[in-house]
Amino acid sequence: MRRWLVRVAGAAIVASVLPVLLLRWIPPLATPFMLGRWLDGVIGRAPAVDIHYDWVPWTRIAPAAPLAVVAAEDQRFPTHYGFDVGAIRKALEERRAQPRGASTITQQTARNLFLWSGRSWPRKALEAYLTLLLEACWSKRRILEVYLNVAEFGDGVYGIEAASRRFFGHGAAQLTRREAALLAAVLPDPKDRRVAPPSPFVATQAQRIEAQMARLGPSYLASL
């Protein structure tokens, strides 16, 4: 029994490490969230939509885009090891759920790439394990590059390139600071918040994100 458990554990580790290592260099073809949204349309659980997803490398993403999502989502991203302990502690002290406030970009990348929607303790445990694995196997730049490419910016719109073309009519390389801030402003709730035209709430959030971008400065992510 002990040998069997060791073999199962070893197989599980290999099965999780191998795709992480491959995705360090290979763009993902799709994510479980993309496939789930497509399937919801097929079976009639949600209105059918075309899935828009176009991978672009880091060099074809305007510098304003990564700065905007870091300013909006995870300002300690360059220095933490996958978890923002301060944000988690604050959420626990306030005794209310703050999934976006306490969830780092690395955690969200792990969730988008490998996991399913919903909340459960097994899922949170897998997310924590995969978060540590990504931090150990990938550079910070790769984590942010993948996150920008798989994050949902609208119903059926995944990734910074597809979102930029859908909402602004040009590629991610031409994104302005304002446009990048608008995209970052919808990330907490891309199905209910809209980029174009932005609601007053999204426009206000984008202004706040732009202010945070200016505070961090254009060289904040230069070391990634």
Average pLDDT (71-83) is: 94
DSSP lists the bridge partners of residue 154 as 157
Angstrom CA distances, 112 to 8, 127, 148, 151, stand at: 25, 10, 11, 7
* Residue where the block lists tokens 């059918």: 48
Average pLDDT (111-134) is: 88
Q: Is the pLDDT of residue 97 over 50?
A: no
- Mean pLDDT score across all residues of the chain: 89
The confidence score (pLDDT) of residue 198 equals 94
How much of the chain, in percent, has pLDDT values that exceed 70? 89
pTM: 0.89
Average pLDDT (36-42) is: 92
* Residue where the block lists tokens 């510098």: 63
- In DSSP notation, 105-130 reads HHHHHHHHHH--SS--HHHHHHHHHH
The confidence score (pLDDT) of residue 11 equals 67
DSSP lists the bridge partners of residue 52 as 157
- CATH code for residues 32-216: 1.10.3810.10
Confidence of residue 100 (pLDDT cuts 50, 70, 90): very low
Domain segments of the chain: what residues? 32-216
* Structural contact between residues 161 and 54, judged by C-beta atoms closer than 8 angstroms: yes
Average pLDDT (108-123) is: 86
